[in-house]
A and B are shown apart, each in its own frame.
Chain A
Amino acid sequence: MSQERGRLRPGILHSLTAALGAILLPHVTHLPLWCSAACAAFLGLRTMLTWRGQASPGRWTLVALALACALGIALGFGAAFGRDASVALLALMLGLKLLETQSSRDATVCICLGYFLIITNFLYSQTIPTAACMLVLMIWLTATMVSAQDRTGALGPKQCLRLAGTLLLQGLPVMLVLFLLFPRINGPLWGFPQANNSSLTGLSDRMSPGSISNLGRSDAVAFRVEFQSPMPSPASLYWRGPVLWDFDGRTWNAAAMLSTAPMQHTAKGPSINYTVTLEPHSQRWLFAIDLPRNVPDGVLLTGDYQLLAEQPVRARIRYDISSHSSYQYGLEEAPQALVRALRLPEGLNPRARELAQALLAAQRQPQAVVNEVLRMFRTQLFYYTLEPPPLGRHSVDEFLFRTKRGFCEHYASAFVFLMRAAGIPARVVTGYQGGELNPVGDYLIVRQSEAHAWAEVWLRGQGWVRVDPTAAVSPARIQRGIAAAVPEADPLPLSVRGNLEALRSLAFTWDAVANAWNQWVLGYSPDRQMELLHDLGLAHPNWRTLVILVVGLISSVLGALAFVILLRLRPAPGDPVEQLWKRFCAKLARAGAPRRISEGPQDFAQRAAKRLPSMGKEIAAITQCYIGLRYADPGPRPQEAHPKEVRRLQALIRHLRPGRGPPRT
């Protein structure tokens, strides 16, 4: 079928090159520099060749270039042939194919590769703006496809765009059905998807001075929560994350897992039911309000009540969970755990140790020691700030006795140190505290800036008890959030500050849209699909019913679209007068007086009147009216006279009731 090899018009090649360039542009940020440069060179060369009307480079040049590119990928990415390497290879091959493109068939190959590259952009970003840009580029590519098929050049660029837009618009219902009902399965099918981004913000299994205050500067969303039961007060929203046991004098580390068996616990008060949509953070922790119960399937609950996913969370996930904010647990803690909760590095922070010993000597009761330390934080001049001064080797000593300025990690760290030094088992718990209610979407947004660290002490008879030293220093942090707690000058993200009301309500709306987007477009999972089917009345859908449903819906959608599309095959409805005349002729034909093709209206009327003498008058009147409308001089105001006469003609014809055939004699 060599007819497909017709050469493309230069305009089409330019449009194709520009569209593919725009699709490749976002990839520049994650492609190796040489790849981007090579792609740019290929596109530039293509444009130049098209401009000058020169032939494409020879086949062997292209083969050599392709081999060079493949070699470059192999050397650059090595054995780790994953997502990035595939995208790089695809981009380079697209550039080379474009360089070779002469015919409309080559253009189709380029356009298919272009569609594929659009999808690969979603590997890196799936936000609404990205989606909008890519949709525009998709229409553009499709329009280029249309203009390549428009061999006679009858369509201008605008018409091609409009046709492409119409096509995609008509594809919308099909897309909706398939998107919602196409049987979804959980990936991955092959390989292992790489992390979205290695530098994701979030809590880690380590905490050193400054690590949480750094998070405090980020307004990235950590997770969003929809409450099914009434939302507890912000002060009780402790979102439990990594529990840190081991201290090396500067950094707290998470323990290698102690026990996977959750300790027995007694829950008091009503349970809180909620759904968390967690942003990917490349760690295994899931966050839940202290103390989680009803753990989702496939999630591990450790002995210290951390929730761990089977795999690091590399994609946004959604889980239902319930908690009790009032509880007692860990009454029977294992002895080795308690020993571990007392361990301190030797030879560091002597003054803090002295202080702890003095407190213990004075108070005797562990609970009293706890209260005494909290009183110290409350009464002495401790400051809560995002920008604490740096600390040296004896970090706890320096903080407690010299700088007295710190963020929650400083307070938690110093508090747990003092407890352990006083012989009270204690550990650091990190997570998030509080959250911001989005009134637009009625859900809670928890941001990285709400990252928090607190302490748990083990008291005989009470088990593990949460103590938040930050609450002693800055009650406002716990009651009203971080913006109320840190000084004005601290570098808090704009969206966290409360003083720009208009901006904030706009931000709330935008976040609600983004959340809906996350929930329904990006996070539409097999589970959500099951939920939807359940809501549709299919309690236990199996593959067969799903296939029947999809096929049935698609056929009816296509049928409706076919009707709309093919409707325009019919001739345009003609002039109303002409149609009325045709109806009149048809009536007379049924009555036995068909009009001959050669007959004008007048001749026909005379003949018909002779054949059907019973309606001679009516026939004459109708013909007169028709002739008046059709042939008479329209007069000075034709627009006004016209409709009235047409209506009269219509009435006359409607009232014409010829019998079945002429009377026979």
Chain B
Amino acid sequence: MATTPMAWRSRFAQPPPGGQFPLVLTQRRVYILPTRPGLLFAATLVTMLLGCINYNLGLGFVLTFLLGGCGVLTMLHTYRNLAQLRLRPGQVEPVFAGDPAQFPVHLDNPGQIPRLSLRLECGAVRSAWFDVPAAGQQTACLAFPTLQRGVLVLPRIRVRTTFPLGLFNAWSNVDMELQALVYPRPTPGPVELPQPVGGNGGVRQHGPGQEDFAGLRDYHPGDSLRHVAWRTEARDQPLMTKQFSGQSGGEIWLDWAEMSPRLGTEERLRLLARQLLDAQALGASVGLRLPQGEFSPKPGPEHLHRCLGALALFPAH
């Protein structure tokens, strides 16, 4: 049970082991078609040719055919600008929902000529224009907006170029098999953290002798049910939360089961993300207990990411 959410690290951090990377843009992968300006150029040439025939312009024929030859040859140049590039997926860093996920792609150019003005595209998402130097490499990034937690799989992307004259568009559709882990967006604002518990495992009942009661404050969603001042609730007053002093350091357990039942799944996950981050900021070791399994409290960012990853992959209902 506990191992399921932990498997994500190997799945997402590394490119899949299959032997298909680097992906070489061979002739079969590169497509090329005239662009709209290219068609305009062709139409201009045809008009020029007709004019030359009509006015019997010998020199006009020379220039028209020269431009025509040049135009056809740019097809080769545009193709060359893309061909034989080697693409490798980069490392995708997890993001919080709402932040753009960056999908880096490494491009290696083994050839002797620099590749100029290329771009990665995926639907409306486009990278900046970039060059790949001769016998060098370049990394381009596609930044996708993220809306919800989970796994954002990079669809097939297109690497394309129109260099040198913009008359032809050469492209290749490639599947970089990249996915980004999108953590739930943490609830904004300060939230209550559960009571830290003393050292050696297990949840301890907190009595007045261990933590000092410091007062009541307004209930925030996510406050542990154990801290709700039920008595005030019984008096038909708004929910209040009991506050205790000395909530820092030590081990904190965040428990799905102890969260307010009024909260939906997503809200709970967002709150847990916030609590994880806050606890991390306080330097506490946090343990996370989810219906699918649990992460025993550990310090450090790696543990934090593991926990956030588990939240990201929390099954929706």
**A149 adjacent to B111 (CB under 8 Å):** no
User: Does B113 sit at the interface, judged by CB under 8 A?
Assistant: yes
**B110 adjacent to A571 (CB under 8 Å):** yes
Of all chain A residues, the one with the shortest Cβ separation from B71 is: A171
**B165 adjacent to A570 (CB under 8 Å):** no
Q: How far is the CA of A522 from the CA of B112 in the complex (A)?
A: 41
**A570 adjacent to B112 (CB under 8 Å):** yes
**A167 adjacent to B68 (CB under 8 Å):** no
* Interfacial chain B residues near A531, Cβ < 8 Å: none
**A178 adjacent to B80 (CB under 8 Å):** no
User: Does A480 sit at the interface, judged by CB under 8 A?
Assistant: no
| Contact A171:B73 (CB < 8 A) given known A119-B48, A134-B63, A152-B130 | yes
**A570 adjacent to B73 (CB under 8 Å):** no
**A146 adjacent to B164 (CB under 8 Å):** yes
Tell me which of B50, B65, B111, B121 has the highest count of chain A C-beta atoms within 10 A of its own C-beta.
B65
User: Does B29 sit at the interface, judged by CB under 8 A?
Assistant: no
**B76 adjacent to A565 (CB under 8 Å):** yes
User: Does B162 sit at the interface, judged by CB under 8 A?
Assistant: yes
CB A553 to nearest CB in B, in angstroms, measures 12
**B164 adjacent to A115 (CB under 8 Å):** no
Binds B, one of A104-112, A323-331, A488-496: A104-112
Q: How far is the CA of A523 from the CA of B56 in the complex (A)?
A: 9
Binds A, one of B39-47, B190-198, B220-228: B39-47
User: Does B17 sit at the interface, judged by CB under 8 A?
Assistant: no
**A175 adjacent to B65 (CB under 8 Å):** yes
User: Does A200 sit at the interface, judged by CB under 8 A?
Assistant: no
Binds B, one of A20-28, A185-193, A358-366, A422-430: A185-193
**A145 adjacent to B54 (CB under 8 Å):** no
**A167 adjacent to B164 (CB under 8 Å):** yes
* Interfacial chain A residues near B61, Cβ < 8 Å: 179, 182, 524
State which residues 131-149 of B face A: CB under 8 Å: 131, 134-135
* Neighbour of B126 across the interface among A3, A142, A150, CB < 8 A: A3
Interface readout for B66-94 with A: 1 if CB under 8 Å, 0 if not? 11111111101101100110000000000
Q: How far is the CA of A86 from the CA of B117 in the complex (A)?
A: 37
* Interfacial chain B residues near A170, Cβ < 8 Å: 69-70, 73
| Contact A167:B165 (CB < 8 A) given known A119-B63, A154-B131 | yes
**A524 adjacent to B116 (CB under 8 Å):** no
User: Does B59 sit at the interface, judged by CB under 8 A?
Assistant: yes
Interface readout for B244-271 with A: 1 if CB under 8 Å, 0 if not? 0000000000000000000000000000
* Interfacial chain B residues near A154, Cβ < 8 Å: 114, 116-117, 131
State which residues 517-555 of A face B: CB under 8 Å: 521-525
Q: How far is the CA of A119 from the CA of B117 in the complex (A)?
A: 31
Q: Interface on chain A toward B: helix, strand, loop, or mixed SS?
A: helix
Q: How far is the CA of A145 from the CA of B37 in the complex (A)?
A: 11
* Interfacial chain A residues near B98, Cβ < 8 Å: none
**B68 adjacent to A174 (CB under 8 Å):** yes
Tell me which of B36, B57, B79, B80 has the highest count of chain A C-beta atoms within 10 A of its own C-beta.
B57
User: Does A118 sit at the interface, judged by CB under 8 A?
Assistant: yes
**B65 adjacent to A3 (CB under 8 Å):** no
Of all chain B residues, the one with the shortest Cβ separation from A174 is: B69
Of all chain A residues, the one with the shortest Cβ separation from B37 is: A108
* Interfacial chain A residues near B134, Cβ < 8 Å: 572
* Interfacial chain A residues near B73, Cβ < 8 Å: 167, 170-171, 174, 558, 561, 565
**B63 adjacent to A138 (CB under 8 Å):** yes
* Interfacial chain A residues near B283, Cβ < 8 Å: none
CB A360 to nearest CB in B, in angstroms, measures 54
List 13 interface pairs A-B (beta carbons < 8 Å), by A numbering.
Answer: A118-B63, A142-B70, A149-B166, A152-B129, A154-B117, A163-B164, A171-B67, A171-B68, A171-B73, A179-B65, A187-B56, A188-B53, A521-B59
Q: A4-B37, A146-B165, A521-B59 are in contact. List 10 more A-B contacts (CB 8 A).
A: A4-B166, A119-B52, A123-B55, A142-B70, A167-B77, A170-B69, A173-B69, A175-B65, A178-B65, A178-B68
Q: Closest 9 interchain pairs by CB?
A: A174-B69, A171-B69, A171-B70, A151-B129, A522-B58, A108-B37, A178-B65, A112-B44, A175-B65
Task: Name B residues whose Cβ lies closer than 8 Å to a Cβ of A.
Answer: 35-37, 40-41, 44, 47-48, 50-74, 76-77, 79-80, 83-84, 110-114, 116-117, 119, 121, 126, 129-131, 134-135, 162-166
